[in-house]
A and B are shown apart, each in its own frame.
Chain A
Amino acid sequence: MDYRQEPHGLFFMIDNKSFYASVESVTRGLNPLKSVIVVMSEADNTGSGLVLAASPMAKKLFGISNVSRQYEVPDDPRILVVPPRMNHYIQMNLAVNRIFRQFVADADCFPYSIDESILDMTHSWRLFGETPEAVARTIQLRIRRELGLYTTVGIGENPVQAKLALDLQAKHDHELIGRLTYETFPEKIWPITNLKKVWSIGHRTAAHLQRLGIHSIGDLAKINPYELHQEMGIMGDQLFALAWGIDRSQLHDLRPVKEKSWSNSQVLPRNYSVQREIELVIWEIGQQVTSRMRHHRQQAACVSLSVGFAWDGKSGDGRSGMNHTRRINPTDNAQTIIATLLALFREHWEGQLVRNIGVGLSRLSASQQLQLSLFQDPQRQIKNDQFDRVIDELRDRFGKTAVIPASSLMPGGTMVRRAALVGGHNGGNSFD
């Protein structure tokens, strides 16, 4: 393979080791690598409780993994269980990224997730050390000293190499640093046979590759790319590039989103079977999404509803849920949108138990003046429109629960309890 034409930069992919659990350890004066701590969400819809993060020691001693259930965690007095504080983690993530920005220009720091960032060190690494590894060490020590957190660093000549170095090498390295280059890539990555461990390969893709007779990354690299394209389409091209450690993405030219849309979904605290209750939640989510859209002065011409069935309530034909979409005249009026959602629901629902509800609004356009319909009382239409805006303003000024529809207090309503959550989990104490 001729790599001369490929981009040769220097990228760091940095991740915080067991981020939530480490942050909780530090605030309690514990060492993140030694404490046995489990962050457990007990939000309504997590059932008995869901492990959001476990410290490295908790993973090692008790085999607890993230997304374990409460009942899978042993009832052992050595384990310390703490509730999540999502707002605090967001603050810590910002603090970590502030430190990163002392090593790269602002434009070269790309937050990837709540605990991972990509740093394009191509132009600045020489300022901070002799070798990339030494620079990585310096960053690790800075973060440890200032925030008390341990970080893992993957180093590569492009973003995908950095990500793989992080996932496959650094996490098992004593120094928590891993490095891949075009030269070392075949030696380090090709022998991997557990394809699912490699970034971007999920269990379905892995099974697909197995069916094609591809049992290691090396096999993937040596396959005819044209055949792979024929079989898997553009994903095949991407996997082939991955197997050779090639990534031509230019992080600086952000791709504009093709078409933006607004959506919200939630897992219900229990299986819902009563139509009135399900419709109440659809109504609540519809309100929430429409309100978000109105904040961006947009209106939607397409409404979609997705309903996930309870695990034991799958419909007779084995479907695990349903997705339906309908085009409407562009509007930002909650009543109209919700009426469409309810119509979709009533047409297609056949009494299955429901556990998951999502609402999406797409085909957006800038909302202009109200377009009056010929078939309705104009005064009524104007009133409806103003009503929505007043509610939005009240919520902006006094909080999400300042005004709520009385129906949200009925059995099945989730709005009031969810208002305090961040990303579906406890945000932490307010006024802190």
Chain B
Amino acid sequence: MGGIALIDCEQEAKLIGSRLQDYFTPQWHCQYRIDVVNNQYGSEFNFFLDIKRQNHRERSIPLHSLKTTDLTVLERVINGVRQQTELTLNFIDFGHVRWPESQRWIR
């Protein structure tokens, strides 16, 4: 690619939301969670739907990869995702950092 890759935050959030709709089928005794991983090796942010059912194997389904390391972009996408779902977001490997816009801790 090279140069600045333009990422349409709204579009990305929508894509995550639509994939979530396909895989998220609420059931009893199940914990659902969205994992957001800061993947240092791939320079990308990965989204997974994590499903934990009591006494059963845990499942993790890939939702999307955001090809950027820019937290501002991620913050906007996350805001978009939060408007579509109430699921808990779990941030992995972000360290002790604040969001660039809202200045809250990432967690």
A and B from one assembly? yes
Q: Is the CB of A431 within 8 A of B59?
A: no
Q: Is the CB of A79 within 8 A of B57?
A: yes
Number of B residues, CB within 8 Å of A: 26
Q: When the two chains form the complex, which single residue of A80, A85, A147, A428 contacts B41, counting CB atoms closer than 8 Å?
A: A147
Q: Is the CB of B15 within 8 A of A431?
A: yes
Q: Is the CB of A81 within 8 A of B58?
A: yes
The CA of A85 and the CA of B92, in the complex, are separated in Å by: 21
Q: When the two chains form the complex, which single residue of A28, A77, A147, A428 contacts B92, counting CB atoms closer than 8 Å?
A: A28
The CA of A82 and the CA of B40, in the complex, are separated in Å by: 20
Q: Is the CB of A83 within 8 A of B39?
A: no
Q: When the two chains form the complex, which single residue of B37, B58, B59, B61 contacts A27, counting CB atoms closer than 8 Å?
A: B37
Q: Is the CB of B58 within 8 A of A429?
A: no
Q: Is the CB of A432 within 8 A of B55?
A: no
Interface string of A37-54 (1 = CB under 8 A from B): 010000000000000000
Interface string of B38-82 (1 = CB under 8 A from A): 111110001010001011111111111100000000000000000
Which residues on B sit within 8 Å (CB–CB) of A82?
59-62
Minimum distance in angstroms from A77 CB to a CB of chain B: 6
The CA of A75 and the CA of B52, in the complex, are separated in Å by: 12
Given A28-B46, A77-B56, residue A148 in contact with residue B61 (CB < 8 A): no
- Judge whether B93 is part of the interface by a CB distance below 8 angstroms: yes
The CA of A29 and the CA of B15, in the complex, are separated in Å by: 22
Q: Is the CB of A77 within 8 A of B46?
A: no
Q: Is the CB of A77 within 8 A of B61?
A: no
Interface string of A358-398 (1 = CB under 8 A from B): 00000000000000000000000000000000000000000
Closest to B38 in A: A29
Which residues on B sit within 8 Å (CB–CB) of A431?
15
**Which of A29, A38, A76, A78 has most chain B Cβ within 10 Å?**
A29
- Judge whether A26 is part of the interface by a CB distance below 8 angstroms: yes
Q: When the two chains form the complex, which single residue of A81, A85, A432 contacts B59, counting CB atoms closer than 8 Å?
A: A81
Question: Interface of chain B, helix or strand or loop or mixed?
Answer: strand
Which residues on A sit within 8 Å (CB–CB) of B60?
28, 80-82
The CA of A147 and the CA of B40, in the complex, are separated in Å by: 9
Closest to B19 in A: A429
Closest to A82 in B: B60
Which residues on B sit within 8 Å (CB–CB) of A79?
57-58
Q: Is the CB of A77 within 8 A of B55?
A: yes
The CA of A75 and the CA of B53, in the complex, are separated in Å by: 10
The CA of A403 and the CA of B19, in the complex, are separated in Å by: 25
- Judge whether A146 is part of the interface by a CB distance below 8 angstroms: yes
Q: When the two chains form the complex, which single residue of B15, B19, B35, B55 contacts A75, counting CB atoms closer than 8 Å?
A: B55
Q: Is the CB of B37 within 8 A of A28?
A: yes
Minimum distance in angstroms from A40 CB to a CB of chain B: 9
Using A28-B37, A82-B61 as known contacts, list a sample of 5 further A-B pairs with CB atoms less than 8 Å apart, ordered by residue number in A.
A27-B62, A78-B58, A82-B62, A148-B40, A148-B41
10 residue pairs, one from A and one from B, having the closest CB atoms: A148-B41, A29-B93, A29-B92, A29-B37, A79-B57, A80-B58, A81-B59, A81-B57, A432-B65, A82-B60
- A residues contacting B by CB (< 8 A) are 26-29, 38, 73, 75-83, 85, 146-148, 428-429, 431-432
- B residues contacting A by CB (< 8 A) are 15, 19, 35, 37-42, 46, 48, 52, 54-65, 92-93
18 A-B pairs with CB atoms under 8 Å apart are A27-B65, A28-B37, A28-B46, A28-B92, A29-B38, A29-B92, A75-B55, A76-B57, A77-B55, A77-B57, A79-B57, A80-B57, A80-B60, A81-B58, A82-B59, A429-B62, A429-B64, A432-B64
